[in-house]
Structure 1
Amino acid sequence: MNILLCNDDGIHAPGLRLLRDTAREYGEVSVVAPEYERSAAGHSITLADPLRTKEIYHGDDFFGWAVSGTPADCVKLAVCALLDEPPDIVLSGVNLGSNTGISVLYSGTVSAATEGVILGIPGIAFSLCTYETPHWETAAGVVRRVLDRFLHNGLRPGSLLNVNIPNLPHGELRGMKPAGMGKSRFVEKFHKRTDPQGNTYYWLDGELEILDRTDDIDIRVVGEGYVALTPIHFDLTDRDWLDHLRDASEHTE
């Protein structure tokens, strides 16, 4: 099995090295990732500038290609130019920080896996829900459990699997649960400041507000100590409204 790895924390991120070490137990691994951190890049792609690549080695070991673009750029470039043949699956992460709720729309980690799905390749995104004192051994164990369960026959064409891992010692995990993408938004604040040259700039800050009252959403499932397994597709059509528009059109014609 040929496995493509990407992330949005950059090619030198510890979560990507962990994912590579773990994925090598399951097949031939190629790494194509942003040269620098591209968190919250979403599904942006580079059109006005060339994409530059750099081969990265750890000692004498070829680690992968660093790309000047976004996570989506990396997957496109890997599939269309860098690799001799398309991968069988795209794995993205392991991201430092959760990708639950509305964060899914901003996430470069999720977008790398999504780009694989767009290209007809199954995708899984992994995130460890913390920014401090990460339990990487927990993440490695969850990656193995997910790959054992889904790698060969558990993924649906046209959708990716978004995996959010509580930052707990592995023995304290309560299991894995299917979970929906929770409705949420960021209550944002812009802090106005002045640089040493007297120019005004703004620094974004904010808190997540949960708008969903249901229990089986990704945010709450992770908070209860379960790994959240969320299937996501990129068809953003509001089907109920579409049906309403069709009904309305039929009555006005």
Structure 2
Amino acid sequence: MKKIIHSQRPLILITNDDGIQARGLQQVAQFLKPLGDIVVVAPDGPRSGQSSAITVTVPLRMKVIDDQEGFCQISTNGTPVDCIKLSMNILFDRRPDLIVSGINHGSNSGVSVVYSGTMGAVFEGALLHIPSIGFSLCNHKADADFAPCRDLVVDICRKALAAKQWPQGIGLNVNMPRLPQFNGVKLCRAAQGYWTEEYDCRVDPHGREYFWLTGTFKNNEPDATDTDEYWLDRGYATIVPCSTDCSAVGSVPAFASILNL
């Protein structure tokens, strides 16, 4: 596939983990059209929970879905991170000015960033030192109303494109409440907690057992007033800066003692 040649307008790469047909992705692509040239490269179906997974066992393929002046859509059988890697290595003749992932159907607040394919794409962009932002709406419905998200999404992306310096290795995780109008916006940290990994045991038509992942998020700090979970519960959109550096530098002294090093 030949590299895509763009104008001198800002180049915005959009992906997601819900699939190229997802309403959230199609809506954000329309929201951002006035800001630059849009290239959508997204999975051909749902890839939720893929985190930063990459495809190494099967060939990757791409299919052009729509190709217009300043607006292109391509689907792939890969993961959200594959979408970023394919775009950077196969499609583009220059670096994107902005990477947007989403709008995800459902929240990616708290520790969900660990599992999220939406945020996996954001982390990949951050590793490449490209301003990268994940957007999620706290609504899992396929026909969710994304109209209330428009102004905030456009405002954040416009400011990202105008930023003279973006902190390296940092992406933004933006979550929006399921409301006709947000009560405000909070820049905060992710709530600490965990998912109860519960599995529903079921039986298929052939009498064979199978297991379906369910589970509930448990917030370990429900009263902390500086977390995304706290403010989302109160009708605010939240913005959490997320780092690709997983080093637990603060624990070095403790492990030096444990390991006698």
What is the match of residue 209 of structure 1?
A: 218
- Which residue pairs with 2:126 in the alignment? 117
In 1: Cα distance, 2:47 partner to 2:105 partner: 12
Assess if the C-alpha contact under 8 Å between 1:155 and 1:161 holds in 2. no
Match of 2:23 in 1: 14
How far 1:57 sits from its partner (Å)? 2.7
- Number of residue pairs matched by the alignment: 249
Matched, 1:231 2:244: no
Over the aligned positions, Cα root-mean-square deviation in angstroms equals: 2.1
1:161 alignment counterpart = 172
- How far apart, in 2, do the equivalents of 1:188 and 1:200 lie? 18
Aligned to 2:4: none
Residues 1:61 and 1:195: Cα distance change in structure 2 (over 3 Å): farther
Structure 2 residue 45 is matched with structure 1 residue 23: no
Q: 1:160 to 1:60 in 2, by over 3 A?
A: closer
Determine the structure 2 residue equivalent to 1:148.
Answer: 158
Q: What CA distance in whole angstroms lies between the structure 1 residues aligned with 2:205 and 2:147?
A: 43
Over residues 166-186 of structure 1, what are the superposed CA-to-partner deviations in whole Å (9 max), with x where a residue is unaligned? 11113xx12111110111111
Q: Distance in 2 between matches of 1:231 and 1:33?
A: 23
Using the alignment, how far apart are the partners of 1:39 and 1:207 within structure 2?
16
User: In 1, are the aligned partners of 2:38 and 2:71 still within 8 Å (CA)?
Assistant: no
Q: Structure 1 length normalisation: TM-score?
A: 0.91
- Structure 1 contact 9–38 (Cα < 8 Å) conserved: yes
Match of 1:183 in 2: 192
Aligned amino acid, residue 215 of structure 1: T
Preserved CA contact (<8 Å) 1:135 1:168: no
Contact 1:39 1:107 in 2 (8 A): yes
Shift of 1:86: 1.7
Q: Structure 1 residues 147-156 or 43-52, which shifts more?
A: 147-156
Q: Which of residues 80, 90, 108 in structure 1 aligns to 2:99?
A: 90
Give unpaired runs (5+ residues) of structure 1. none
For residues 146 and 195 of structure 1, the distance between their equivalents in structure 2, rounded to whole angstroms, comes to 46
Could you tell me whether the CA contact under 8 Å between 2:84 and 2:124 is conserved in 1?
yes
Going from structure 1 to structure 2, the CA distance change for 1:64 and 1:192 (only over 3 Å counts) comes to: same
Residue of 39, 47, 56 corresponding to 1:47:
56
